[in-house]
Amino acid sequence: MSAIHPPAQRIWWKQPLDKIELAWILIAFVWCLVMFFMMPYWHVYGKQNLSNETYRTTPEIFAKKTQEVVDKHTVRTETEEKIPVVRPPAGGDVYLIARLWAWWPILELEKGKTYRLHLSAMDYQHGFSLQPENINVQVLPGYEHVMNVTPNRSGEYAIVCNEFCGIGHHKMVSKLYVVDK
């Protein structure tokens, strides 16, 4: 048999397996099993991704909820675009909108306090990446992603979109402040 001539036996899968082929099939099968069982292990013990809840929503409903929190808890504005900096009470809900090509509003959270972070996209798929922490969440339009976050170090963190969302993707960055009380 060669790449030019067809095999003599057209039903190739009925041919006996060589020992090397069988060894590679077993190695691949065992590796698949290892990776299958490592996924829940990494989720529980790896501390890499936050457990989240996801709900169906519309951009209009999510924008309204976000605007209510912004109106109630804005402490100042920043940047040329006058983006509001929101400092919600500890234990409260925090909303963050992803849209071409910005995160809105800027969040200011208190160190050691737990918040429920709500994320949604208004237009396309975006990626929420909190740097230098290794937190990555895919943010989709039509879904509200909710996760509990407890900042444990004060400082200024960068929020970056890590899903290509168009020509202005490289400018889709924001801040998250964690302050001591």
Three-class HEC string of 59-121: HHHHHHHHHHHHHHHEEEEECCCCEEEECCCCCCEEEEEEECCEEECEEEEECCCCEEEEEEE
pLDDT value at residue 122: 95
Can you state the percent helix, strand and coil of the chain, rounding each to 5? 25, 40, 35
pLDDT value at residue 64: 96
- Between residues 49 and 177, which one has the greater pLDDT? 177
Quick one: 52-179 is in which CATH superfamily?
Cupredoxins -  blue copper proteins (2.60.40.420)
pLDDT value at residue 47: 65
What is the residue-averaged pLDDT of the chain?
A: 89
Q: Is the pLDDT of residue 8 over 80?
A: no
Taking residue 43's Cβ as centre, other Cβ atoms within 10 Å add up to 13
pTM above 0.85, yes or no: no
Q: Classify strands 115-121 and 93-99 as parallel, antiparallel or unpaired.
A: parallel
Report the pLDDT averaged over residues 118-144.
91
List, in order, residues 6 or more apart from 9 with CB less than 8 Å away.
15
Q: What is the pLDDT of residues 38-74, one digit of tens each?
A: 988 887 777 666 677 899 999 999 999 999 999 999 9
Q: What angle do CA 125, 131, 132 make, to 5 degrees?
A: 155
Map out the domains of the chain as residue ranges.
Answer: 52-179
Q: What is the pLDDT of residues 143-164, one digit of tens each?
A: 999 999 899 999 999 999 999 9
